[in-house]
Structure 1
Amino acid sequence: MRNNWSIKSKLLTKRLAVLSMSALMVSILAACGGASNPPTAEDAGQYEVTPGDPFSAYKDEVTVTMGRVTTANPKLPSGDTYENNAYTRLVKDSFNAQIKDQFEANGEDYSRQVSLAIASGELPDMMRVDSKDELKELVDNDLIEDMTEVYKQYATDNIKKTYDSYDGRALDNATIDGRLMGLPATSLDSAPTMVWVRQDWLDVLGIKLDADGDGAIKLEDVEKTAEEFLKKDPGQTGKPVGIPFVNTLNTTDYNGSAYTMLGVASTENAFPQYWMKGEDGSIVYGSTTEETKQMLGIMADWFKRGIIDPQFGTRTFDDITALYTNGQSGIAFGPWHIPDWGLSNVKQMDKHAKFTAYTLEDADGKVNVAHANPSGQFIVVRKGYEHPELAIKIINLFYDKLANDKDVETSMPEAAKYLESGVDGSTRPFNIEVNSATSLLDDYSDVVRGIKGEIGLDQVRTTESKNNIESIQTYLKDQDTDDVTAWSKYHSRMNGVGLIDKLTQESKFNWMTPAFSGTTPSMKQTWANLNKLEQESFIKIITGAEPLDYFETFVSNWKKQGGDQVIQEIEAETKTQK
């Protein structure tokens, strides 16, 4: 009967209608005898060797189709693919479950694939969705499994403790009408955005940053250093470039803060793109505040003086990475882990390259940062899939057993080799992270104590930390080593996470808790245009195409073109939640 429907082209552009129609079709098929009621958790147990066991295999091989979120450089060994690699083979060996990828894509391409899958009514058995609104959409149209009971029955104690470390916020984000409808990724606080500076260049030029050693520097320190790099060209390229920034400029995710101006904004206590509570309790959009205007004034001054890349607004993300790789620029804004996947390219080109991480402080010596949304991505299971508990088992396998097994080289040798060689985590069946709220600093503590010999490798909590200790020790023995993994792990953990730990211990952070995350009804129609208005207005101000006072015109247009309506909806929703 499904083939008789001839409305796919319209459905692709009207997603809500698609979902409603998909749900209707399911009902019709059931009425025609073309489908049976989906199995319960108890029914699923009949396929297992030991029903209810978090790690039990299936008696007969089962197949699970997936939508996979990929990355450009997964670092897979030759011959391995996203569908067939050490991690998917581990699932087969552990559960007798064969993974088949229904689609693989990255970024916006992945979002389009998800939309196409929904529009066609052909969802994979499991996939990641990237917003609470998308999760609600699937629930409203009865397209995904209720995971409440299988989570209770199959999640290990460690996985339950991990989610519980967020004081209910993580699971609550995946709960609709009292039912757990997806398995949330976790997003722990990973602030601040850092300023990564070529230390080998500082040494050559005799520049001393951070005289007091607290890890925090002022804007003027960055300005002066950038000017010296431009003037003296320590990369010896003949064409040095100022600090490059992506044209999107801002983000509300510190993990995705590479090449953004989030760090610059923090010095003015500005939080562009965040929803905040004003002094009177009303909802305020951070991109429209006076603090953001001051930040744009700083950026415009930098651009005029050449401190910012003169091609700002036109370079792609890859173009910017190439500037660092080629030695044309030596100051990068980004998260603690940018050495693992971005700055490591610099090391490959220059074996003597070294970076030091700093953060920017305001006039009062505070580092202004925002708390993360504890979960914004969810693994969902197609309604009617026979083995919804398999999603929980995969979570158990990768985020409990593999993460915590102290003898993983023996028990899971192929996976252990992946961890040791730095194969990207996206190659796991689910491209998400499931970590406790304190895991970043807990792991750092293990790494530091392991390097100092205060604990043995058998006492380290996670396999990843064990591998990091060995890599960092390799780097410390020879800082000019050709081992890029050793170089990157030292920089990301000892410099990056080490800075977060130091700032935390010294109470340097001034935290802002966002008032809202997600979307409202009118945002679905207006937000793309509002984002475009914001990006274009900010670029015009920074590049001098418009004066700083043009910011008032931007704010006025933003409000008229839908911003005021969005604020009203957020205020109504937050009142309901309260």
Structure 2
Amino acid sequence: MVAVLIVVGIVSGCTGIRVSPSAVETLQAPAASSATRYDISWTMHQNLPVTEDAEMVRYVEDKFNANLVFWNLENNKYEALLDMKLAQGSIPDLFRIRQPQDLLKYQQQGVLAEIPEEMLNKYAPNIMKAIRENTPGYQEYGQIDGKYYGIPVINPTNIYRIPIVYRKDWLDKLGLPVPQTLSDFEKVIYAFTNEDPDGNGLKDTYGLSSEGMNVVFGAFGQIVFADQLYFGVKDEKLVIGALQPEMKEALQYLSKWYRDGVIDPEFITGENKGGYKHLSHSFINGTIGMTSMGNYYHWIKGGDYLTWNSNGMEAPVEAKFNVKELTSINPHAQIIFGQPFSGPEGKRGSKAYDMLMSFAAIGAGAADKPGKMETILQILDYVSANPDLDEAASMKYGIQGTHWQWASDSKEDVILLPPYDKTFSYQNTIGTGLGMTVPLMPTERREKWAATLGLDQDGIYNALEVATPSLIKYGTELIKQKNKAYISIITGDKPPEYLDEFVKEFMAAGGARVLQEANDWYSQHPVK
């Protein structure tokens, strides 16, 4: 990934309000029909709903002579809520496709508009420039049969894999180092279970749960538990990780650990018990001592780096998300990051999020009104990849002087002003966050800190980032079949040797066709 200059380049935000006049000049082309005021329905990433009087929304509406109508779809249930609206005959004009594999599905359903390439280049020039210059291998990922139906949303910070986190205070009490090998890890999780690491006199702790299992699979070179089928590469061909013979050995370890009571017996329901989806409640509540859940910024400890406070002074960053919740329950709890531990053949890795994060598309109905698609693209470009630093920051943080201010004349760091510096997802409520992430690496202090953690090494990515027709047809059931088989083996209902039988059943249930189409696609796309 190419690191570039501007801190706000990765803007996934929207709308500015009282911002610099020069921003008007950044628009590359006027709306096709400025006299026409369009009603534009809009979907976006949301932790909280956009309020009816959101000031940033009003600014964008006035600038582009449009009425934005937001579909406040809860992020944790986004696909289910979106599909329900589609089934009722409603199609959003700005169509966020959160799962990349769903682009083909929605195109086949006829709910997406074709976006002419010349229109993309004319009305979304900054977005297309960022993709073309920084991630050229992804330029065609939004195409189906040579026609654009989606704009690829590529997250440059996904060069950092999912971290591996341990309870440092538990390790210290038991006199154990951070594990480097699978054998080391086994010693640690047995100690976490049997040697009372929390000191309460009860046998109520475990070594790991569901998210930690992927690090075990990673020690054998694959990823298994995910909301998609994970593909790897062997002998220059794609393979499905869960079907590989080396997974049998990984399952032997896990089934033994489960039998010995080292794995949280509630692993089947996952580590998150509701609310913000990246929180590991099993770890926060002291049930387990190791996890690999959430992203690097969900595990920021107090003092990890210096940041700017609301008074314009440098101060130690406060604990965030999982660490904040953990220490609110147990102020003495400590965490430490570990590298993926190596398996018998020296393999290691933890799950990494795909660089292709999602797609931004346009609903089929928007193409029926002349000028409407152009206006949507123009708004999307303005709120996502604005080259004006003041405007771009306003699209992400809100009103300059009210919600935020620059830390210095260099315009590299932003200071959030009270009370917004303490307000969860205030950007949603005021109407920022409307746009898409573009592949410009941010230079904020948080990302500089992340770069020191070694998270750009040993990430295991899904080698198939798009959907194929058979994956749409069979994928959901194949994932259920895979999860059922693996859980049955881990819990002892089936022996590890059952994996061979499962592979045959999987391939007969559509897996063979899925694998063939995946390799047909892979043969036509160079490695990025």
Both structures adopt the same fold (TM-score exceeding 0.5)? yes
Computed over aligned residues only, the root mean square deviation of the Cα atoms, in angstroms, reads: 3.9
Q: Which amino acid aligns with 1:185?
A: V
Residues 67 and 366 of structure 1: is their aligned pair in 2 closer, same or farther, counting only changes over 3 Å?
same
Quick one: which of 366, 379, 396 aligns to 2:360?
Answer: 379
Q: In the aligned structure 2, how far is the partner of 1:407 from the partner of 1:166?
A: 21
> Percent of aligned positions with the same letter in both sequences?
20
> 1:228 maps to what in 2?
191
Change (3 A) 1:228 1:59: farther
Structure 1 position 132, deviation (Å): 5.1
CA distance, structure 2, for counterparts of residue 209 and residue 316 of structure 1 = 21
Q: SS state of the match for residue 302, structure 1?
A: helix
Checking the alignment, whether the CA contact within 8 Å between 1:276 and 1:514 is kept in structure 2 is: yes
Quick check: which one's helix share is greater? 1
Is 2:489–2:496's contact at 8 Å kept on the other side of the alignment? Answer: yes
Return the alpha-carbon distance in structure 1 between the equivalents of residues 376 and 266 of structure 2. 46
CA distance in 1, matches of 2:188, 2:132: 44
* 1:328 equivalent in alignment to 2:287: yes
Read off the aligned partner of 2:27 and give its amino acid letter.
Answer: D
- Equivalents in 2 of 1:537, 1:327: separation in Å? 29
Ranges in structure 2 where 5+ consecutive residues have no aligned partner? 1-22, 300-319, 405-415
Distance in 2 of aligned mates of 1:97 and 1:351: 49
Residues 62 and 318 (structure 1), Cα distance of their counterparts in 2 relative to 1, 3 Å cut: same
Q: Distance in 1 between matches of 2:30 and 2:175?
A: 61
User: In the alignment, is residue 105 of structure 1 matched against residue 93 of structure 2?
Assistant: no
Cα–Cα, structure 1 residues 138 and 558, in superposed 2: closer, same or farther, change >3 Å?
Answer: closer
Equivalent position of 2:484 in the other structure: 536
Structure with max Cα Rg = 1
Distance 1:430-1:577 versus aligned 2 partners, 3 A rule:
same
Counterpart of 1:400, as a letter, is A
Q: Does structure 2 conserve the Cα–Cα contact (< 8 Å) formed by 1:195 and 1:358?
A: yes
**Correspondence 1:388 to 2:388:** no
1:244–1:309 CA contact under 8 A, matched in 2: yes
Alpha carbons 1:323, 1:329 under 8 Å: kept: yes
Tell me which of the two structures has the higher relative contact order, counting C-alpha pairs closer than 8 angstroms and 6 or more residues apart. Answer: 2
1:362 aligned partner: 342
Which runs of structure 2 are paired with 1:126-525 in the superposition (5 Å)? 126-131=94-99, 134-139=102-107, 141=110, 143-146=112-115, 148-155=117-124, 157=126, 159-188=127-156, 189-209=158-178, 217-230=180-193, 231-234=195-198, 236=200, 238=202, 240-246=204-210, 259=211, 261-272=213-224, 273-279=229-235, 281-315=236-270, 317-318=272-273, 321-334=280-293, 335-339=295-299, 340-363=320-343, 367-368=348-349, 373-382=354-363, 383-384=367-368, 386-401=371-386, 404-405=389-390, 412-416=400-404, 417=416, 420-421=421-422, 423-424=424-425, 434-436=437-439, 439=441, 443=443, 447=445, 468=446, 494=449, 497-500=451-454, 504=456, 509=458, 515-525=463-473
- Listed one character per residue, the Cα deviations across residues 36-85 of structure 1 (whole Å, up to 9, x for unaligned) are xxxxxxxxxxxxx97982597967865422234434xx4xxxxx745554
Deviates more, 1:221-230 or 1:134-143: 134-143
State the aligned residue count: 447
* Aligned CA distance change for structure 1 residues 328 and 283 (closer, same or farther; 3 Å): closer
Aligned counterpart for 1:558 among listed residues 506, 524, 527: 506
TM-score, length-normalised on structure 1?
0.66
Other structure's SS at 1:173 match: coil
> Relative to 1, partners in 2 of residues 1:179 and 1:275: Cα closer, same or farther, differing over 3 Å?
same
Paired with 1:142 and 1:60, the residues of 2 have a C-alpha distance of 24
Within 1, Cα distance between the matches of 2:266 and 2:99?
Answer: 33
* Distance change (3 Å), C-alpha of 1:396 and 1:243: farther
Per the TM alignment, residue 537 of structure 1 is displaced from its structure 2 partner at its CA by: 1.0
Structure 1 pair 497/420, CA: closer, same or farther in 2 (3 Å)?
A: farther
Secondary structure of 1:522's counterpart equals helix
